[in-house]
A = this chain, B = another copy of it.
Amino acid sequence: MATKPRSVGREAPRIGGTFVHFSVANEIGQRIVRGDYPPGTILPNEAEWSAMFGVGRSVVREAIKMLMAKNLLASRPKIGSWVEPRERWNLLDREVLTWYAASPERRTFLKTVQEFRYIIEPEAAALASQRRSETQMEAISKACHEMGTARTLSERTAADTRFHLAILRAAGNELLLPLGALIDSALEGLFVFVTREVNDLRHAQDLHEEIERCIRLQRPEAARKAVRRLLANTDAVIATQDSGGSGVRSAVGAS
């Protein structure tokens, strides 16, 4: 069973468990967001991609349809496929955001996302403090507590993410949750973590617990302010690493 014949009739049709059209979409999408093909550019035609990646034309077509669904490109007969203007891109898409995070504009990306959190999260916390059910409150408290007792950094980050998502869920708006999940997954995708001294960690934990308390006590305005304090703290961390580090594994966590 360990060594099945595996009769490879053709060249590997799959790569690492994901399907080929997915890989191709990923590759082309990344190139577009990265800026290899600026908006307005006519992309290589189907045949060229096909030859370039060594896959069938249908695979290329399906990959392109996936990118069309994200508004990264459009196409018409005889013209070819072209990159859509940036404003049309569906930036609120997990994959697109991931590609963005991996692009040379990573710095801009970080600032944009961080600012975006200033808009979303305070309000979410306020809503959550008004509407959270008991079960939702438990989930929030549990995640918060687990953040405090986490032994490894990745454990802590995971709990942090759960904490934020639990708040968004408790806010009870169907559009808020995907938005938060989007941001979290984009940041997570950077594979970078907050590297703070213990003091900072302790401080961050206090800030999280304050948020938890505000939501428990159902105090919207206080919750809003608490979240703002937490975000300001993260800002400071970003700023530090930004100015200080050259290529220092710079740094933002889910918190």
Contacts and interface: CB of A to CB of B under 8 A. Distances in A.
Interface of A: 21, 25, 58, 61-63, 65-71, 87, 89-95, 108, 112-113, 115-116, 118-120, 123-124, 127, 173-179, 182
Contacts of A173: 112, 115-116, 119
B87 A177 contact: yes
Nearest to A76: B19
B120 A119 contact: yes
Nearest to A22: B68
A93 B71 CA distance: 10
A18 to B, nearest CB: 11
Interface of A is mostly: helix
A93 B91 contact: no
B178 A91 contact: yes
A127 B112 CA distance: 13
Given A119-B120, A119-B124, A120-B119, A175 B92 contact: yes
Contacts of A89: 178
A27 B79 CA distance: 27
B178 A90 contact: yes
Contacts of A63: 65
11 contacts: A58-B61, A61-B62, A65-B69, A66-B66, A90-B93, A91-B175, A118-B123, A119-B119, A119-B120, A119-B127, A119-B173
- Return the 4 tightest CB-CB contacts between A and B, nearest first: A69-B69, A66-B69, A92-B92, A119-B123
